[in-house]
Structure 1
């Protein structure tokens, strides 16, 4: 189980000071185990702040969030984070980047080799195991990021606009590959994005945030069948959802 529950969460930067800024207000959410969830909203609505709290990078001002009933406080390997910027280690090969977490935990060389083989293949980098990050494209480096997080075997995968810097074609390919990996593992995923089409294509549930202070304005349940294919982006159902969400964000 890896269910996240957010209960009456509010966050104010500089609470108690004259310059206090409330970025999240009374957030209540239940993200079911094994689900793929997207969070969308205008810039400054608190999407990334909420995600970083799920990662345990800092605590809310009021309220709480839990993972399987345990209060989230501080970071641990149950929650893995993928950022928009590359986080690969330039002094490590692809394979060594992927096995970094297990190696820190004391995995044997045999275990490391198995992990490297499995996750390098899962993220589509077979044949590039011994390459250095400087030899890879932006999309390939992002695959390394994702492989490294998955190799650490988290229960929850938190992704903060991971494909935002990629070109359109690479982005679509990465979205499809991410869904393949998610289908094989069924980790709970929380995915922040500005891209409505990306959110609809990936998610079971889309949380629409209002402008600052961020509140849950709407929750869209996406009933598109799985596995998702790129031709679904042109269907009436897909475009209807996109128009509905776009209207919400505009107003």
Structure 2
């Protein structure tokens, strides 16, 4: 989700999404790490998870607010409760992210996209913050779709769209591709997700062990992780959120789509989403 918090700046209220701003760390000592950043801060090369002191080197006029974890948890709880009015098949993966299985409510909408736009609009009306929504047939692709252009967007990434939408992206944007893995891939002259997808997986395993195979599968849109709702976890039995066979057409996937989205209850957040909601 994309949060908004206003702050006093020269006597006026300012939406920190519109200025270089971060959440995290101590304002006086400038210790800690960046927990979230505004789109304007991202343009300075500021990254979530980096030390606050580095962020200020990149942007000396950066605005920083401390995190308000109590507020985040409260907004997170309210959002999840709201999403459960649509379906109990929701897997919350962080304070601001969750996956939603569309299968059980497919008959209520003409398409997953229609459902995503309705939910997105109702979230804004009810809570005052925006969400990005990514839609696909598995959690991986829904997650990747949620990271496309933001804020307040709905994106699809169906299997037949992977080559066009995902392969041109830098390999660093692939889910689970961390700094050390990316450094090794770049030494192998693998710089895009598409180049990774077309690399011999045995070569990747040689350099990255089993993680190399995982990254190769992800680059090809392969993922079979299931949405684990609270009910599913309690039973210890998985109700599949992915389809029993690969789906090649968007129209064939309507009744088995995974939503993924993310939330920012009144704080600056990079909008991500999948019909992960958060």
Coarse TM-score class (shorter-chain normalised):
under 0.3
TM (normalized to structure 1)? Answer: 0.28
Larger radius of gyration: 2
TM (normalized to structure 2)? Answer: 0.26
Q: Which has the higher contact order (CA 8 A, sep 6+)?
A: 2
